[in-house]
Structure 1
Amino acid sequence: MRSEPGSSRPLPDPASIDWSEVDDGALDELILGVPREFTRDELVEAAGLDPEESGRLWRALGFTDSEPGDRVYTRADLEAARMVTRLSREWLPETVAREAVARALAQSMSRLAEWQIGMLAQVAAAHLGELTPRDAARLAAEVIPDLEALQSYVWRRHLAATASRWVAGVQRRDVADTWPLSVGFADMVGFTRTTRRRSMDELGEMIERFGAVTNEVIANGRGRVIKTVGDEVLFVTEHPADAAAIALGLRDRVRTEPSLPLLRIGLAHGMVLARYGDVYGEVVNVAARLTSEARPDTVLVDKEMYDALRDDPRFDLRRIATLHTRGYSHLRAWALRGARER
């Protein structure tokens, strides 16, 4: 049972409710807003798509193929398909690029949808008793247009911020999509062991708190979260000193969070391939290896980070024994601390 915000009234767990009266047709009405009326072949013909490529794009978006006679597509799908045709002709003529864009969209949107459906289910659960499950679901769905508008706003703000970074850094790039960046991993120590001792509610609270803390510290430190995967967050900064400050800030902040395990953090700096919202290259691999080798509540940095930070009075760097880790038999590393910790 959960409590409604601002109230001591317990709420039912959405997963314990019988939602059977909210059938597929009702969900379509609530979420898609229009009925399913086209088969795949009808959609492909009406939009002027290549049948084979349309299937690859659909799968790249994370959806399974439909049966030939199933009417699973809506007029919104038709408009989107026509948009793909237009974009393919005018802006994205290469098939590989179109599929890569589809995969990038799917990875972000599917995670967002998972979280939002859980939130909407809780909104619906708050009104059960006074409303039937179907009416409660309809009430929760009323927030969808606002969510859609908010997503568009946040996307445009991120688009503007990313464009500014691109323009500012374009002169420093050697190859398209390649940037000098500081890359950091922060990993919760003993996460697997911790999950065995906590209930699902406690685990959910821990993950939510980890996301909130890391996003706040990284954003305030002029960094960007690339992704959070379970017990680990990957972030980047333009400047090594910002990455160092973020790492120490994360370490110190988590020390004050009773629901969170301590962190181990690794930082590396150099040329990184940034593509489709993710980062790749040896610098990313080195940061990951340093994280796996760091002791709990410590930060390790590579040689490039050390060179950039060694004359900065805010930081203290201590050489540690050469690391022998997967893929790197002689990895040089330094332990990073704040100057006041000397």
Structure 2
Amino acid sequence: MPDEPRARPPLPDPASVDWSEVDGAVLDELILGSPREFTRDELVARIGLDPDESGRLWRALGFPDSGPDERLYTRADLDAARKVQALSGTWLPDPAAREAVARAIAQSLSRLAEWQIGMLAQVAAAYTDELSARDAARTAAGVLPELQELQAYVWRRHLAATAARWAAGARESDPENIAADTWPLSVGFADMVGFTRTTRRRSLDELGEMIERFGAVTTEVIADGRGRIVKTVGDEVLWVTEHPADAAAIALGLRDRVRTEPSLPQLRIGLAHGMVLARYGDVYGEVVNVAARLTSEARPDTVLVDREVHEVLRDDPRFDLRRIPPLHTRGYTHLRAWALRGARER
């Protein structure tokens, strides 16, 4: 017989709990897995780390320097420091590369942690059973092992997908003329129109709903279109694809989907294609700049593309491309662009 589902433990209603009763040391230890017992100098001495570099790595992770007498570090920090030391000699011998990797990981995971704490607060608000704040803290900490395993699973799935794309790109590229992190990509920006004005007219709850819907819609449409999100910054999402046709289909899909979402304003969308520097989870280069400029110049509910996207798609029967007057925008005095529509919109 299948195992009986475990009962969902109740969480407190934040409005009815005196959170000043929470023992911060208990919560801290539950999350970190062990107490803070080592100073910076003790950790450095135990592992044999370079004090200056260890400080730079700690700051690259997004944490401030600790005082010499602060017992800030746990046994998990010791284990992590040993792993960093081992990897430094085999995988990342360059100190600058180690710091860059630390920054990239920290920026992603710090945002994830902020979101997860906010999510837990929302979940807690949905419960009405009365528990002590300490019990609530223990309940939340109890999910950490499963959450950690789930995050590792998702990371491995994305790692496999990225490795497959990299291997395919390496086979198709000339190894003498392309760097390991430079690839031909289509870059798309989608920007919510009038976001600042909209935030002034909506309550914080309504703003939260709008941001959630924007994230849900963009994630679904971009994933279905064989694209991948690079980052979402407030009212804007940046994504990439290997082929301009996929980027164009995503752009039109986002536009059409948002039209059906009452809580979302219209989008401005820009697409460009060419060689892109993909490094530490972000993308850089002229193509990214052009896509951003096209987005800023697009009218609400429209998609603009650059010359390279036009050249690839002009004979594609799924799309309609109409040239518009040259754009004069920041950094570009004569930017050629085309308005993109679906073939049925002709």
TM-score when scaled to structure 1?
Answer: 0.94
Which position in structure 1 is the counterpart of 2:89? 89
Task: Report if aligned partners of 1:264, 1:295 keep a CA contact under 8 Å in 2.
Answer: yes
User: Paired residue for 2:206?
Assistant: 202
Q: Which residue of 2 aligns with 1:3?
A: none
Q: What secondary structure sits across from 1:225 in the alignment?
A: strand
Question: What is the percent sequence identity of the aligned residues?
Answer: 81
Cα separation, 1, equivalents of 2:16 and 2:274 = 50
Q: Please tell me the residue identity of whatever aligns with 2:284.
A: Y
Partner of 2:44: 44
Map 1:3-82 → 2, pairs under 5 A: 12=13, 14=14, 18-82=18-82
Contact 1:124 1:140 survives alignment (8 Å): no
Looking at structure 1, the residues matched to 130 and 24 of structure 2 have their Cα atoms a distance apart, in angstroms, of: 23
> CA contact under 8 A between 1:121 and 1:137: conserved in structure 2?
no
CA offset at residue 90 of structure 1? Answer: 1.7
Query: Which residue identity does 2:28 align to in structure 1?
Result: D
Q: Determine if contact 1:120/1:141 at 8 Å carries over to the other structure.
A: no
Partner of 2:35, secondary structure, is coil
Residue 291 in 1 paired to residue 295 in 2?
yes
After TM superposition, give the deviation of residue 248 of structure 1 in Å: 0.1
1:17 Cα deviation after fit = 5.2
CA–CA separation in structure 2 for the residues paired with 1:15 and 1:287: 46
Counterpart AA for 2:159: L
Kept in 2: contact 1:266–1:290 (CA 8 A): yes
Aligned pairs (5 A) from 1:1-342? 12=13, 14=14, 18-127=18-127, 129-170=129-170, 171-172=172-173, 174-342=178-346
| SS of structure 2 residue aligned to 1:333 | strand
Give the CA deviation at 1:130: 2.1
Distance 1:15 1:36, change over 3 A: farther
| Offset, 1:125 | 4.1
Tell me, yes or no, if the aligned pair for 2:320 and 2:341 is still in contact at 8 Å: yes
* More divergent stretch after superposition (204-213 vs 25-34): 25-34
Could you say what secondary structure the match of 1:114 adopts?
A: helix
Residues 172, 180 of structure 1: 8 Å contact kept: no
The alignment partner of 2:288 has SS state of: helix
Distance in 1 (alpha carbons) for counterparts of 2:103 and 2:138: 30
| One-letter amino acid of the structure 2 residue matched with residue 327 of structure 1 | G
How far does the alpha carbon of each residue in 1:127-166 deviate from its partner, in whole angstroms, 9 at most, with x for none? Answer: 5652111111211221111110000000000000000000
In 2, are the aligned partners of 1:319 and 1:334 still within 8 Å (CA)? yes
Give the C-alpha shift of residue 24 in structure 1.
2.4
- CA displacement, residues 185-229 of structure 1 (integer Å, 9 cap, x when unaligned): 000000000000111111111101100000000000000000000
Q: Deviations over 1:270-324 (max 9, x none)?
A: 0000001100000000000000000000000000000010000000000001000
Aligned residues: 331
Cα deviation, 1:233-252, whole Å, max 9, x if unaligned, reads 00000000000000000000
**2:55 alignment partner AA:** G
- Asked if the contact 2:188–2:238 (Cα under 8 Å) also holds between the matched residues in 1, the reply is yes
Match of 1:7 in 2: none
Tell me: CA distance 1:134–1:127, structure 2 relative to 1, closer, same or farther (3 Å): farther
TM-score, normalised by the number of residues in structure 2: 0.93
1:16 CA drift (Å) = 8.4
**Kept in 2: contact 1:124–1:137 (CA 8 A):** no
Cα distance in structure 1, aligned partners of 2:41 and 2:103: 23
Which structure is richer in relative contact order (CA contacts within 8 A, separation 6 or more)?
A: 2
User: Is the CA contact 1:315–1:336 (under 8 Å) kept in the aligned structure 2?
Assistant: yes
CA contact (8 A) 1:128 1:136 kept: no
Q: 1:261 to 1:227 in 2, by over 3 A?
A: same
Per-residue displacement from partner, 1:71-110 (whole Å, max 9, x unpaired)? 0100000100111111111211100110010001001000
Q: Distance in 2 between matches of 1:262 and 1:146?
A: 39
Tell me how far 1:126 sits from its aligned partner: 4.2
- Tell me if the contact between 2:259 and 2:266 (Cα under 8 Å) persists in the aligned partners: yes
Deviation at 1:122, TM superposition (A): 3.1
Letter in 2 for 1:201: D
In the superposition, relative to structure 1, how do residues 164 and 34 fare at CA in structure 2: closer, same or farther (>3 Å)? same
**CA distance in structure 1 between the aligned counterparts of 2:211 and 2:258, rounded to whole angstroms:** 13
In structure 2, the residue corresponding to 1:320 is in which secondary structure? strand
What runs of 5+ residues in structure 1 fail to find an aligned partner?
1-10
Kept in 1: contact 2:328–2:335 (CA 8 A): yes
Question: Is residue 298–residue 304 contact of structure 2 (8 Å, CA) maintained in 1?
Answer: yes
